[in-house]
Structure 1
């Protein structure tokens, strides 16, 4: 595919990242949303490490949207801390965080970023568990637009990759599929709850 298309897809993915996150950030600043600080530390850490792994695996401009997303997630963690949002930290939170950090020795010992991406993708996908549980109980409380934008963002990030390998593709493809499954599940539960 032409490099101009790749740049356009990367630009679209970055734009969708901002479209998804900017309203969320404003809701934090206004006090309407109180995110869990440690969740965002974990997501910021995992996404940032995946970005560096994709860069090493020659993902090129297709890695940029993941890097932007990682930076924004770290910023949200900072806002959550400053605004004194939910700062309670459970044992499960520590397990997720330590799992994310465990990816670094895998990468170092194997000299292969794939192992870091596999661990981080697994941790990120496990993070969908509580959202799926919540969507089952209260499907109308989930933001369909947010997950639709993130699914689209990851599709465009995939299209923008300069090199396709398991290392560069695994994270955005897995998150896209997880978002799609979640959207289908939310739609199904909303029809069920209404009936």
Structure 2
């Protein structure tokens, strides 16, 4: 049963990310390169932390999403948001400095906690951009991420901080992002 839920969640990651990629190419959305750069690093850390701490099939949605996170980051370099501010750069530096304690720790749980903190800091430039330009994002990706992370929680083989924290944080952040997009577009 958990395997099936993990597969559905991974397919949801694909289904949520493919339209986003097409929207990037068509110029409908403008991903913030700083956010997607940090997310590509953090998602990799979280994925391996989940694997090491026994997430089992529950790590599959994170792995599937990580592939798209890297692709979206690469696309953001050409098609992404160009109005980067000093505040965005400060958030990038803070997020990257957060990698230092992660590198120094050998504990997967502490690594995931640090990575989730970095992930949330990295969300700030995209939240700022979307607040100012709500049409620069689409709610489909972020809404599907909420559902994907809920399913990922149900598909975990082992429940602990390392396996659960990222999904809980992403449910919260993606719900907020979806709400901002929908409320500000009106």
Gaps of 5+ in 2: none
CA shift in 2, pair 1:91/1:181, >3 Å: closer
Gaps of 5+ in 1: none
1:32-78 CA distances to partner (integer Å, 9 max, x unpaired)? 44433332111111111111111111111111111221221111122
For residue 60 of structure 2, the aligned residue among 57, 64, 83 is 64
More displaced stretch, 101-110 vs 46-55: 101-110
Match of 2:162 among 167, 171, 183: 167
Aligned to 1:156: 151
Distance 1:36 1:58 in 2: 32
Tell me what 1:9 maps to: 5
Q: CA deviation digits over 1:55-110, x for unaligned, max 9?
A: 111111111111221221111122233x3544676555555445555555534544
Aligned length: 186
Structure with more contact order per residue of length (Cα contacts < 8 Å, sep ≥ 6):
2
Give the Cα–Cα distance (whole angstroms) in 1 for the partners of residues 137 and 29 of structure 2. 13
* TM-score of the two chains, using structure 2 as the length reference: 0.80
1:35 equivalenced with 2:39 (yes/no): no
Q: Residues of 1 paired with 2:27 and 2:131: CA distance?
A: 26
User: What does residue 77 of structure 1 align with?
Assistant: 73
Corresponding residue for 1:114? 109
Matched-pair contact (CA < 8 Å) for 1:38–1:93? yes
- State the alpha-carbon separation in 2 of the partners of residues 45 and 76 from structure 1: 13
Instruction: Measure the CA separation in 1 of the matches of 2:4 and 2:51.
Output: 18
Measured in 1, the distance between the counterparts of 2:82 and 2:126 equals 19
Q: Does 1:47 align with 2:40?
A: no
Equivalent pair of 2:37/2:73 in contact (CA under 8 Å)? yes
Q: CA RMSD in A?
A: 3.1
Structure 1 CA distance for aligned equivalents of residues 36 and 12 of structure 2 = 19
| CA separation of 1:100 and 1:55: change in aligned 2, threshold 3 A | farther
Counterpart selection for 1:123 from 109, 112, 118? 118
